[in-house]
Amino acid sequence: MLTNAAIVLGTFAVMEVVAWAVHKYVLHGFLWNIHESHHKPHDHAFERNDLSFAFYGVIAALCFIYGSEQLDYRFWIGTGISLYGLAYFFIHDLLIHRRIKLFGKASSTYLRALDIAHKVHHKTKGRDGSESFGMLWVHPKFFRIARRKR
């Protein structure tokens, strides 16, 4: 049981690194034509960039399929990937971009710093020159800015 929890938590943590690298080097690289829709203003519910999450969904589904019979490590890796995707949906899509208006302004310093970092990421409209590619890890400079904006 403890091992399974460690696999889930470890996978969740590794997903932040994987998501950062994929965002920086793949989505802002050779798959910019898909991700570009996320950096342009629009008034529709979905964007082409939403397709990029199918990649993680397929990997999680395969982990569930091949790991569910014995509930082995693959099942728990799929759980960690899925929980990261769920966190991404709530934090990135609902809290930061407010794709569905469920939350008000963030009150914690961490959430404000996260929001500021994401706004800085979107300040650059092209594929080059952006910073802050992760979802949960926030550079300390954004905490300093968030504290000043209280």
Instruction: Please count the helices (runs of H) and the strands (runs of E) in the chain.
Output: 6, 0
pLDDT score at 99: 63
Using a pLDDT cut of 90, give the percent of the chain over it: 43
120-124: long-range pairs with CB below 8 Å, 24+: 122/39, 124/39
Count of domains in the chain?
1
Nearest of 105, 62, 65, 57 to residue 84 by alpha carbon: 57
* Position 70 pLDDT exceeds 90: yes
Report residue 90's pLDDT band, with 50, 70 and 90 as the boundaries: confident
Which 3 state secondary structure label does DSSP give 113?
A: helix
Report residue 49's pLDDT band, with 50, 70 and 90 as the boundaries: confident
Q: Determine the average pLDDT of the residues in 22-26.
A: 92
- pTM of the entire predicted model: 0.86
Residues spanned by the domain of 82: 2-148
Higher local confidence (pLDDT), 27 or 92: 27
